[in-house]
């Protein structure tokens, strides 16, 4: 059940230029899954809409969750000034997360670009847990590829706790020069399936790669969201099949997504 609640900021720190890392004490953590997101409401009443922010990590005790976000406007600028102990208005859990069962026994490639990297922390954590509990032959071989602009490789160490990590940087300062696709080629990385989060241009290329290799790929789409609960139809994506809600070829990213198998959507 989606619900709005007053949660509490546990900690916050800046981890990169305009990127902040916040832990929130909330009952919503009990049901949070990799790929889902919360809506965070600014206190400034002149800012009408909440800001959708993906779950970066869920605490082991399920009492708190972590968000990592980029300051990109007045709402997120306000959030960046919150101090530990302060209340924070949030709604969740929103969206459908990643299908993890399909990863059992597979060589899995996680791909993240820019502010699409944070959701991979909880995703890799949950996959590692599944793999540790799997029967022999169903364990998951996990590799992660991260794309950055430069040598400021935030969250890299978090992800190295769960998988082998390769990096691409646009300025060539770390890892392979260029994009995540360049890193995949440079390091000759192989996979049976893909999970990816990042900008649309990156996901477009991931879809082409998945089709060329004939492997499944699950992508999390980023889009401006208004209501966050599927009512306004402000965040739709074209789909291969008609949607059960509208009976036309589209899906609401905030409700039917944000995660889709790439063959389901036009990107």
Q: What is the CATH number of the domain that holds 114?
A: 3.40.50.80
Q: What pLDDT is stored for residue 133 in this prediction?
A: 85
Q: Which of these ranges, 104-118, 131-145, 163-177, has the smallest mean pLDDT? A: 131-145
**CA distances, 203 to each of 27, 38, 181, 222, 237 (Å):** 32, 22, 10, 10, 13
The span from the CA of 37 to the CA of 46, in Å, is 23
Q: What is the pLDDT of residue 244?
A: 73
Q: Which residue has the higher pLDDT, 254 or 80?
A: 80
The pTM for the full model equals 0.95
Buried b (16+ CB within 10 A) or exposed e, 52-88: bbbbbbbeeeeebbbbbbbbeeebbebbbebeeeeeb
Asked, for residue 151, whether it belongs to a domain, the answer is yes
pLDDT band (50, 70, 90) for residue 225:
confident
Mean pLDDT of 156-160: 98
Residue 43 falls within a domain, yes or no?
Answer: yes
Stronger pLDDT, 144 or 47, i.e. the higher one: 144
**Contact assessment for residue 91 and residue 228, using Cβ atoms and an 8 Å cutoff:** yes
Q: What pLDDT does 245 receive? A: 67
**Judgement on whether residues 119 and 74 belong to the same structural domain of the protein:** no
* pLDDT tops 90 at residue 229: no
Report which of 40, 129, 122, 48 is spatially closest to residue 86, judged by C-alpha positions. Answer: 40
Shared-domain flag, residues 133 and 205: yes
Regarding whether 118 and 209 lie in a shared domain, the answer is yes
Expressed as residue numbers, the domain containing 139 is 101-220
Please say whether the beta carbons of 261 and 217 come within 8 A. Answer: yes
Same domain, 161 and 207: yes
Mean pLDDT across the stretch 86-106?
Answer: 95
Domain count of the fold of the chain: 2
Residue 244 included in any domain: no
Q: Please check whether residues 22 and 74 belong to one and the same domain.
A: yes
Q: Do 125 and 161 belong to one domain?
A: yes
How many other C-beta atoms are found inside a 10 Å radius of the C-beta of residue 181? 18
Query: Taking 80 as the threshold, does the pLDDT of residue 115 lie above it?
Result: yes
């Amino acid at each position: 059940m989606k619900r709005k609640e007053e949660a509490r900021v546990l900690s916050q720190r800046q981890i990169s230029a305009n990127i902040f890392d916040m832990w929130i004490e909330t009952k919503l953590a009990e049901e949070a899954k990799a790929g889902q997101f919360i809506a965070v409401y600014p206190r400034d009443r002149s800012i009408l809409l909440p800001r959708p922010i993906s779950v970066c990590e869920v605490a082991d005790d399920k009492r708190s969750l972590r968000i990592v976000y980029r300051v990109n406007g007045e709402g997120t600028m306000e959030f960046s000034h919150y101090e530990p102990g302060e209340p924070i208005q949030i709604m969740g859990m929103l969206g459908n997360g990643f299908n993890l069962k399909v990863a059992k026994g597979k060589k899995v490639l996680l791909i993240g670009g820019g502010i699409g990297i944070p959701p991979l922390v909880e995703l890799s954590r949950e996959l590692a847990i599944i793999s540790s509990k799997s029967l022999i032959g169903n364990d998951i071989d996990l590799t992660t590829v991260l794309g950055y602009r430069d040598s400021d490789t935030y969250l890299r160490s978090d992800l190295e706790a769960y998988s082998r990590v390769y990096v691409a940087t646009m300025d060539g300062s770390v890892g392979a020069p260029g994009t995540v696709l360049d890193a995949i080629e440079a390091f000759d990385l192989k996979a049976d399936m893909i999970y990816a989060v990042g900008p649309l241009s990156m996901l477009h290329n991931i879809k082409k790669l998945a089709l060329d290799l004939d492997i499944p790929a699950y992508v999390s789409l980023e889009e401006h969201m208004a209501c966050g609960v599927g009512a306004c139809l402000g965040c739709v994506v074209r789909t291969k099949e008609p949607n059960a809600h509208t009976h036309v070829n589209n899906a609401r990213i905030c409700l039917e997504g944000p995660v889709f198998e790439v063959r389901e959507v036009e990107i």
